[in-house]
Structure 1
Amino acid sequence: MGKNKKAKNKKHNNSKKNREAAALFFALVSFLSAYAFIVPARSGILGRAVSAVMFVVFGTADYILPLIFLRYFIIHIMQSVELKEKLDFIWSVICIVSCSVLFEAVRFTFASAEEISGGWVGDNLYPFFKELFGVWLGFAIIIIIFLFSAAKLFRISISSCVYNFLKNPEESIIKSEEKKVQNILQVKKQECLIQQKSDRAVPKPNILSVQEKEEKKKPESLICPAVKQTKVDSKIFDYKLPAADLLKNDSAADFETDKDELLERAELLRTTLADFDIGAEVKDIIPGPVVTRYDLVLSPGIRIQTVSGIIDNISLAMRTASIRVVSIPEKAVVGIEVPNPSGTIVGLRGILESTAFESSKSLLTLALGKTTDGSGYVTDLASMPHLLIAGATGSGKSVGIHTIILSILYKARPDEVKFMLIDPKRVEMPIYRDIPHIYNPCTCAADADIITGHREAAAALKKLVNVMDERYTKFAKEMARNIEDYNSKMVETGGEKEFYIVVIIDELADLMIVVQKEIEDSIQRLAQMARAVGIHLILATQRPSVNVITGIIKANFPARLSFQTTSKIDSRVILDMLGAECLMGRGDMLFLPPGEARPARLHGAYVSLKEAEKVISFINGQNFPRLYEPVVAEVERNVSFNAAEEKRTRDLIPALKLINERKRISQDLLKANFGGSARATNILSILETEGFITKPEGTNKWQIDHDKIRQYLEETK
């Protein structure tokens, strides 16, 4: 790895030097060509020859060549700009050729422009445009080609220019007000600097109001520039929620059932049970888009466990897999869920257009999927208040997360709900990075993005705890018990409402490996207290083991959502019961709402990537401002949340003091003082790595460097 890293650094340095050399070359060519074209008489024989040749070929358009070379200089000198050498060359040729044709068209169209020339290129190409399109239409087409090629060469966004030209006057007024406020703040900042200098020269008593003291304590780096300027009222933006027709029609809405086939399968199920001396009668048949449930009335004396014990035999007889047996106490029957021979895809659109979703007033309404009988299942994240998701790879977990995000996007404005997305895998969430709903408590609104780094995620969650504490303080001043009461009072008094924050972690197991202590501590605090202030957590993992979904996490997440698991143990970890191992995968899931004893079987709504991109494009097309006030509480962004390093530092100094006192070292001595052979072995390894102790070859006795130990202890005092 070290060699690869050195090779990469060497390659990067070489590339940087090449870009700098090319930049200097283009700067020189730009200056020399401009000098030769403007003052050819003083540019020597070579300069006059180049100027004459370029004028013959391109005519008056040769004057844009220095500008093109200057643009190449800027592209190469700016390391952040991506090089597109072939494309830039093509657009450069198109630009100068179209400019020559344009000058030739001007010369023929306007009598007063006889001195302008298009050179050999314009003289040969302009007749083609003139004959094909006519004089004026050809003139317009040439102008469009020239402007388009120049925009591509100079990296100018045409859509942004058109938008800035056509945007409404209200935004212009807001920007002008922002500039005024910014100018005022700059003047005040200069006055403050002058005042500080004078204060250093002549000490004066520091008398500040409470508000000034609080503002003085705010770190300058943590305050977003947009917030320092002014606060833009998002209510003036007419935001429109996405329409359901952006999604595909629900193919499972009109699933067909064959009554004769259902009766045949019910009879086959009854005879299969009879072969194992289990008497049962089929009471009801409940068909669904993916699974059909057969409600059986068992004969007296037959236990449900007897039916569960022959699941494999029933699957073999029914020629299907993933059969699930569930008791239904309200009907005094046993339900056997059998997958249909040909299932249909459950789409999200049908659930979004259902009465249950449209009539829900909660901003955190979730359209999870459809039940086994085909009806849409809608729930509320605010009442859960947190959700734990688990499932094996390929079971539909990632699609379920997309469904949850889109459900909220169909209900809430960007100033009502924010998403804090943590994606260590870096592949699932990038499509949402530009939506105005994105939130990161460690940065200002303009810089908010998907969180992918482990330590960045730990810092963001720790900062979110500060957000929670700050909101509790704010709510207490207004005598509000929760975010609903607070927002109601803000509506009455005309104050600013608080938005909900939905934290989604796509792969919890990956974070727990690196920063388990910090992640678990922050999640515990947020899960216990964050509900009242509008912060809700959704944790997802494909490895539902006890060291990932710990007892602390499970105790604070009563709502569970399990996709297909690979073992019964994983099903017990996530649901505290069996059943998830019998699911079919591909969105088949068990949802355990808070306070319920039995999970509901759902078929998750499928959302393709193209559908999600359509919704995101619709939201981004409205150009809603991404606004929120960052938290002032100081949290180190680059804090090293390495638990092993903390433990290393914690054990090293006491061990060195013990060695300095006893003048010897052994594993038994460390075990007696620190407890545990594993910890003693780890301390010995640390001491040997740091060079405080050594063990020469051929001996089993540790040699101690007492001078180094004493020096280290003196430095750490």
Structure 2
Amino acid sequence: MRHAWGVHSVTVAETKPGYVELRMTGYDVLRRVRLPRGARPEGLAVPVALREDGTAFVRDYRKVPMALTLGANNSGKSVYQRNLIKGLARLPVALVGIDCKRGVEQSAYAPRLSALATTPDDSASLLDVLVAEMEDRFDLLSLHGVSDVWELPERLRPVPAVVLVDEVAELFLISSRKDEERRERIVTALIRLAQMARAVGIHLEICGQRFGSELGKGATMLRAQLTGRVVHRVNDKQTAEMGLADVAPDAVVAAGLIPAERPGTAVAADSSGGWAKIRTPHTSRDEVMAVCREFAHLVPDLPALDPYRPHVPTDAPKPGPSLVKPLPVTD
């Protein structure tokens, strides 16, 4: 059909039993990314990229509560995270940042963050608080006889939280034996959150350049709990296999063919076995900062996270005309 009609691509998707949808695109829509006009954040769903069939790739935390994003340097991984934060900032959710590069990536979004950890030690403490918050929410579910936070009445429902980990390897790697205890705390907390936190509205969004068994004990166990996978350009085939081979083996080859001159291009897959090539629109850091300042009033009241709330510097007043009336100098 692609040859007969002279189109760029033909995508076949099963919409429901007995029905398939054919979608034809006449040109490469990923060359210059423009999201559909009606693609807006809603509920817990955020459109973050464009699929190669022209539809929006939506990160829906109700359907895919935990996800892993991989990519080499300059592959577009940070831009993907910017688009995600830009969309989440407009929604009534708590955003928790873990950026062990001293906050160089996420500190700019401080006005909209409920918590931010910039060192492994702070990350361990913050994750312990999140685990305690998860257990308190399970007590609430048990008290009302429900198994999911969305079954609670709206007035009793805790606010959803999204935990954004910028570079997961920094939480696993240790430089001396004395750091092993901290690493065990971090890994245990992450695995517990990945296994159980979906029911109480806490979600993980983990990013990294590589994420395999070489990180140490618990790495593959954690990866198995991360249903959504987005793999940008990587430096080796093994990294693509880490992200995709266990959920969509056919997508590994496509991830290895992403060219360096197309940053933001990635392969997105989940446990259903389906996958698609996507590309995020370029979003500047200043644009996301402006959105975070605009929606800073949506930061929810979570007392447990108050000690980790990042400092938000006040804007310096702009220089203007002096209001002091000058006095003439006379001899």
**Does the C-alpha gap of structure 1 residues 615 and 281 become closer, same or farther in structure 2, counting only changes over 3 Å?**
closer
Displacement of 1:526 in angstroms is: 0.7
Structure 2 unaligned spans of 5+: 175-181, 306-331
CA distance in 1, matches of 2:159, 2:213: 34
Any idea what the Cα deviations from partners look like across 1:471-501, whole Å, max 9, x if unmatched?
101111112221111244x3xxxxx431011
CA distance in 2, matches of 1:384, 1:624: 23
CA distance in 2, matches of 1:605, 1:381: 20
Between Structure 1 and Structure 2, the one with more helix by share is: 1
Q: Which residue of 2 aligns with 1:386?
A: 66
Q: Under a length normalisation based on structure 1, what TM-score does the superposition of the two structures give? A: 0.36
Letter in 2 for 1:346: V
Q: Is the 8 A contact 2:94 2:299 kept in 1?
A: no
SS in 1 for 2:73: coil
Of residues 486, 496, 500, the one that matches 2:152 is: 486
CA distance in 1, matches of 2:2, 2:87: 41
- 1:282 lines up with 2:8 in the alignment: no
- 1:547 lines up with 2:223 in the alignment: no
Letter in 2 for 1:458: A
Q: Which residue of 1 aligns with 2:227?
A: 558
Q: Which residue of 1 aligns with 2:301?
A: 627
Q: Which residue of 1 aligns with 2:141?
A: 475
Q: Which residue of 2 aligns with 1:371?
A: 51
SS in 2 for 1:419: strand
Of residues 33, 40, 48, the one that matches 1:346 is: 33
Any idea what the Cα deviations from partners look like across 1:63-92, whole Å, max 9, x if unmatched?
xxxxxxxxxxxxxxxxxxxxxxxxxxxxxx
CA distance in 2, matches of 1:329, 1:624: 38
CA distance in 2, matches of 1:573, 1:625: 35
Q: Is the 8 A contact 1:475 1:481 kept in 2?
A: yes
Letter in 2 for 1:546: S
Displacement of 1:408 in angstroms is: 1.6
Q: Is the 8 A contact 1:424 1:454 kept in 2?
A: yes
**Does the C-alpha gap of structure 1 residues 470 and 525 become closer, same or farther in structure 2, counting only changes over 3 Å?**
same
CA distance in 2, matches of 1:329, 1:370: 16
SS in 2 for 1:544: coil
Q: Which residue of 2 aligns with 1:694?
A: none
Q: Which residue of 1 aligns with 2:237?
A: 568
Q: Which residue of 2 aligns with 1:611?
A: 287
Displacement of 1:582 in angstroms is: 0.8
Letter in 2 for 1:386: M
Q: Is the 8 A contact 2:114 2:299 kept in 1?
A: no
Q: Which residue of 2 aligns with 1:459?
A: 125
Q: Under a length normalisation based on structure 2, what TM-score does the superposition of the two structures give? A: 0.75
Displacement of 1:465 in angstroms is: 1.0
Letter in 2 for 1:498: P
Of residues 526, 530, 536, the one that matches 2:197 is: 530
Q: Is the 8 A contact 1:286 1:373 kept in 2?
A: no
CA distance in 1, matches of 2:32, 2:80: 14
Q: Which residue of 1 aligns with 2:275?
A: 599
Q: Is the 8 A contact 2:48 2:59 kept in 1?
A: yes
RMSD of aligned alpha carbons: 3.0
Letter in 1 for 2:304: P
CA distance in 2, matches of 1:614, 1:506: 20
**Does the C-alpha gap of structure 1 residues 286 and 546 become closer, same or farther in structure 2, counting only changes over 3 Å?**
farther
1:185-584 alignment, distance < 5 Å: 282-283=3-4, 285-287=6-8, 293=9, 344-347=31-34, 350-351=35-36, 353-354=37-38, 357-358=39-40, 361-362=42-43, 364-410=44-90, 412-413=91-92, 417-425=93-101, 426-435=103-112, 438-440=113-115, 450-488=116-154, 490=155, 496-514=156-174, 515-548=182-215, 550-576=219-245, 577=249, 578-579=252-253, 580-584=255-259
1:688-699 alignment, distance < 5 Å: none
Q: Is the 8 A contact 2:95 2:163 kept in 1?
A: yes
**Does the C-alpha gap of structure 1 residues 483 and 402 become closer, same or farther in structure 2, counting only changes over 3 Å?**
same
SS in 2 for 1:424: coil
Letter in 2 for 1:462: D
SS in 2 for 1:433: helix
Letter in 2 for 1:558: T
**Does the C-alpha gap of structure 1 residues 401 and 343 become closer, same or farther in structure 2, counting only changes over 3 Å?**
closer
CA distance in 2, matches of 1:612, 1:460: 24
How many matched pairs? Answer: 279
SS in 1 for 2:190: helix
CA distance in 1, matches of 2:3, 2:298: 56
CA distance in 1, matches of 2:60, 2:7: 26
Q: Which residue of 1 aligns with 2:326?
A: none
Letter in 2 for 1:628: L
Letter in 1 for 2:150: E
Q: Is the 8 A contact 1:561 1:590 kept in 2?
A: yes
Q: Is the 8 A contact 1:365 1:379 kept in 2?
A: yes
Any idea what the Cα deviations from partners look like across 1:7-53, whole Å, max 9, x if unmatched?
xxxxxxxxxxxxxxxxxxxxxxxxxxxxxxxxxxxxxxxxxxxxxxx
**Does the C-alpha gap of structure 1 residues 467 and 285 become closer, same or farther in structure 2, counting only changes over 3 Å?**
farther
Q: Is the 8 A contact 1:345 1:606 kept in 2?
A: no
SS in 2 for 1:387: strand
SS in 2 for 1:401: helix
Displacement of 1:627 in angstroms is: 2.3
Letter in 2 for 1:593: D
**Does the C-alpha gap of structure 1 residues 612 and 527 become closer, same or farther in structure 2, counting only changes over 3 Å?**
same
CA distance in 1, matches of 2:55, 2:150: 30
SS in 2 for 1:529: helix
Any idea what the Cα deviations from partners look like across 1:338-377, whole Å, max 9, x if unmatched?
x96x974425xx44x41xx44x752x21212111132222
CA distance in 2, matches of 1:387, 1:461: 17
CA distance in 2, matches of 1:343, 1:361: 24
CA distance in 1, matches of 2:265, 2:201: 30
**Does the C-alpha gap of structure 1 residues 346 and 498 become closer, same or farther in structure 2, counting only changes over 3 Å?**
same
Letter in 2 for 1:568: K
Which structure has the higher relative contact order (CA within 8 Å, separation 6+)?
2
Displacement of 1:609 in angstroms is: 1.7
CA distance in 2, matches of 1:453, 1:571: 28
